[in-house]
A = this chain, B = another copy of it.
Amino acid sequence: MKPITRKQEIITVASRLFNEKGYKAVSMRDIATAMDIKAASLYNHIKSKQEILSEIILKVAEEFTVGMENVLAENSSAIKKVEKVIELHIDITVNHSEALAALNNDWMHLEEIDLRSFVKMREDYEENFRSIIKQGIESGEIKPYHPEVILFSILSTLRTLYLWYQKRGKLDVNVLKKDMVSVLIKGIV
């Protein structure tokens, strides 16, 4: 099913360390020490430190992209779509909590091609979310506040969810979904 390769182990350990101190503050020797090997040994499995960062960030970014595409493909109300987006964020937060720190704070350390790819995905994601909200306002499902403020408000909350999730010790997923949907949606309908 999931053959835990040595490379994947490195990426997991690195995610944990990047989550704590950030990409630039973690050295290859830090990662190696955490795995009880020497820094040079890491290079039997990965090409560079950059590759680690890139795999962490782009894998999760693609999950967001695919998730958003699924939501858009649905034939349902705007509010239902917003609910689905919220659930998407919660699922990813629960499964990749530590990768989200890198995605949020270290994306600017990606190199050219990966950087462009990431920024594009993030812009598209925001634009798609924005269109859902606008659509909801037009149909009268969502209050006619400034769409940008609604987008920003919801997205800020969802993007920093991983910080709360880590602090409050692994809340139950379904309870989390129910509460988040309530608080985030009730304010705008």
Contact = CB atoms under 8 A, between A and B. Distances in A.
Contacts of A179: 145-146, 149
A43 interface: no
**Interface on chain A toward B: helix, strand, loop, or mixed SS?**
helix
A105 interface: yes
Contacts of A24: 22, 24-25
A7 interface: no
B21 A108 contact: yes
Interface in A121-158: 143, 145-146, 148-150, 152-153, 156-157
A186 B187 contact: yes
Interface in A74-130: 105-106, 108-109
A168 B152 CA distance: 11
Contacts of A157: 152-153, 156-157
A20 interface: yes
Contact of A22 (B105, B145, B180): B105
A161 to B, nearest CB: 8
A156 B186 CA distance: 17
A182 B150 CA distance: 10
Nearest to A159: B160
Contact of A156 (B20, B143, B156, B182): B156
